Amino acid sequence: MTGSREVITGGDFKRMVAGAYSEFLLEYENINALSGAGTLAGTHILRTMGAAVMPLADAKDDSIGGLARRVSTAAVFGARGNAGVVLAQMFRGISAGLVGKYDATGSEFGKAFQYGILYAQRLVPEEPERPFITVAKAVAKGTYHAVRDGMPIVEILFQAIQTGEKSVEQIGNNDAGANIMLSFLKGCLKGIDGNFVSPAVSLSLGLGTHKNMPDPRNDLVRPYCVRLRVKNSKASLNELERQMRDFSSFSIVERARGGLDVHVHTDHVGKTLEQAIGWGPLSEVKITNMSEVHVLPAHEALMKVAALAVAKDSFEAQKLQDAGASILVSGSEESSPSLSEIIGAAHSDLASSYVLVASSPDYRLVFKQAKRLLGGRVELVLADTFDNTIAALKKFSPSLSAGENAKIMAQF
């Protein structure tokens, strides 16, 4: 077959992502009522998608590869719950398949979509296979010939949905993971067709929400860690930190070596550098995408090792601190902490290494992703309950390494 000469633009990709978000807005409560993907999996998916769409609101890059990378970075960093982490990996794979492309053919986009499924599958290879992955694999197989023959993306998505629906019927319509995959496909098709009405977000007119729906502005992530030195001994530390705070979620400005050391987490690297350059000559500039594997620098840490845990309220926070936690992140089974919150806390320079203690199976993948991105300076203790978390923390010792602590703490 000759195949389609269809070109998919960055604008098409924006509509697909917006369509997927819109579909989850319509379906997240129904997904919450289903089983198999964790507590309130629909809400975790919706909030992950909220983080993913936010960079598109003011993105100036028109290329499909550039937009896919922005969405991938935000989705990975803003992922919540096990379901959110798996979906974010799909975006990561799609981005990898579109890297360097200004536009894409239907076949190229179809292959990138299959690449996304492969990324998600690699994340959770355990048996028995998760329904989300089962449906994803069925979709990849069912659309293989359509992708190979260069059919239009609408036809590829239509076949994907048909295959997905058959797979969901075989698994059972009451599984949350299977329905998440199906909703994503339907949303992408509605988006590429322009056939969707979002009750909460319009990428062209700005953002707003209806009552009781998660506001995507609350899930905005700032995935770039910027560290630099400003050579100006007379610069105002407080004023520079105040300016940095306007477009960062974390900012530290300290006097050092006749100048200022700046450390911020931002989604606008350019604005950060423009602000800083006005204060004096810059040096030692380092920009890190925290959604990718990176080395966590030890910058004058106050402690050798610290324990990090998740607290849903002030009562739990006090108990966790009394048990030995030095860093607390807000979250619960119903409102899983995002990957950005975990990594942001580890970037606080409090300690040279960390033991991350997860107290619920619902956000185990979030903690595992943190370990994957941060590497050897982070160790995990995967508890199942709050009581086990307390028991683990009581075995924490600041005189031991993170690895030594993790082995002892895991015996709760």
Residue that finishes a domain, picked among 131, 166, 201: 201
Pairing of strands 303-311, 351-358: parallel
146 within a domain of the structure (yes/no): yes
What was the pLDDT predicted at 206?
45
What is residue 141's predicted lDDT score, i.e. its pLDDT? Answer: 87
Q: Which residue segment(s) compose the domain that 337 sits in? A: 303-409
Report pLDDT digits (tens) over 56-68. Answer: 888 888 999 999 9
User: Is there a single domain that holds both residue 88 and residue 55?
Assistant: yes
Higher per-residue confidence, 158 vs 130: 158
Give the closest residue to 371 by CA, choosing from 353, 385, 359: 353
More confident: 268 or 348: 268
Looking at the structure, do residues 175 and 323 belong to the same domain, yes or no? Answer: no
- Residue 53 near residue 17, CB atoms below 8 Å: yes
pLDDT over 80 (residue 38):
no
What pLDDT does 204 receive?
A: 41
Question: Within 10 A of 5 (CB to CB), how many other CB atoms are there?
Answer: 9
Residues 185 and 319 in one domain: no
Residues 242 and 368 in one domain: no
* pLDDT tens digits, one per residue of 82-112: 999 999 999 999 999 999 999 998 889 888 9
Count of domains forming the chain: 3
Averaged confidence pLDDT in the chain: 87
- Indicate if the pLDDT at residue 205 is higher than 60: no
- If asked whether residues 63 and 192 sit together in one domain, one would say yes
DSSP character at residue 130: P
Residue 361 within a domain: yes
**CATH code of residue 384:** 3.40.50.510
User: Quick check: is 206 in a domain?
Assistant: no
| Bridge partners, 355 (sequence order) | 307, 379
- Using a pLDDT cut of 70, give the percent of the chain over it: 92
- Higher model confidence: residue 84 or residue 151? 84
Q: In this structure, is residue 295 part of a structural domain?
A: no
Banded pLDDT at 298 (limits 50, 70, 90): low
Answer yes or no: do 19 and 132 share one domain: yes
Whole-angstrom Cα distance, residue 30 to residue 333?
A: 18
DSSP 326: S
Q: How far is CA 223 from the centre of its chain?
A: 9
* Separation of alpha carbons 342 and 339, rounded Å: 5
pLDDT band, residue 409 (cuts 50/70/90): very high
Q: Is the pLDDT of residue 207 over 50?
A: no
Residue 55 lies in a domain: yes
- What does pTM read for this prediction? 0.90
Token pair, residue 47, equals 């909030």
- The predicted-structure confidence for 338-365, as pLDDT tens digits, reads as follows 999 999 988 887 899 999 999 999 889 9
Question: What is the 8-class DSSP label of residue 215?
Answer: P
The answer on 274 and 157 residing in a single domain is no
146 with 276, same domain: the answer is no
Q: In angstroms, what is the C-alpha Rg of the chain? A: 22
DSSP 55: G
What pLDDT is recorded for position 150?
80
Q: Could you tell me if 262 and 328 lie in one domain?
A: no
**pLDDT at residue 299 in the model:** 62
The pLDDT confidence band at residue 326, using thresholds 50, 70 and 90, is very high
Mean pLDDT is lowest, of 123-127, 263-267, 339-343, 382-386, for 123-127
DSSP H/E element including 240? helix 237-245
Per-residue pLDDT, averaged over 115-126, amounts to 83
Question: How would residue 235 be classed by pLDDT, with cut points 50, 70 and 90?
Answer: confident
37 plus 172 within the same structural domain: yes
Look at residue 198 in the predicted model and tell me its pLDDT: 56
Among 167, 201, 235, residue at a domain's last position: 201
Residue 323 confidence (pLDDT): 96
Average pLDDT over residues 8-22: 93
Counting beta carbons within 10 angstroms of the beta carbon of residue 212, is it exposed (0 to 12), middle (13 to 18) or buried (19 or more)? exposed
Tell me, yes or no, whether 56 and 191 share the same domain. Answer: yes
d(CA 78, CA 82): 12
Q: What is the mean pLDDT of residues 327-345?
A: 91
Whether 267 maps to a domain, the answer reads yes
Q: Residue 216 domain-assigned?
A: no
pLDDT of residue 4: 54
The Cα–Cα gap between 40 and 2 comes to: 46
CATH number for the domain spanning 47: value is: 1.25.40.340
Hey, CA dihedral for 156, 96, 74, 60, is it positive or negative? negative
Which range has the worst mean pLDDT, 212-216, 262-266, 332-336, 399-403?
212-216
CA dist 124 and 111 (Å) reads: 21
Mean pLDDT of 254-275: 87
Above 80 in pLDDT, residue 1? no
Q: In 3-state terms, what secondary structure has residue 381?
A: strand
Number of residues written out for the chain: 412
pLDDT at 35 over 80: no
Residue the block writes with tokens 């925290």? 290
The burial class, CB within 10 Å (0-12 / 13-18 / 19+), for 122 is exposed
Q: What is the pLDDT of residues 189-200, one digit of tens each?
A: 999 888 766 544
Given pLDDT bands bounded at 50, 70 and 90, which one contains residue 212? low
- Do 342 and 252 have their domain in common? no
Q: Is the pLDDT of residue 211 over 70?
A: no
On whether residue 209 sits in a domain, the answer given is: no
Domain C-terminal end among 201, 216, 242: 201
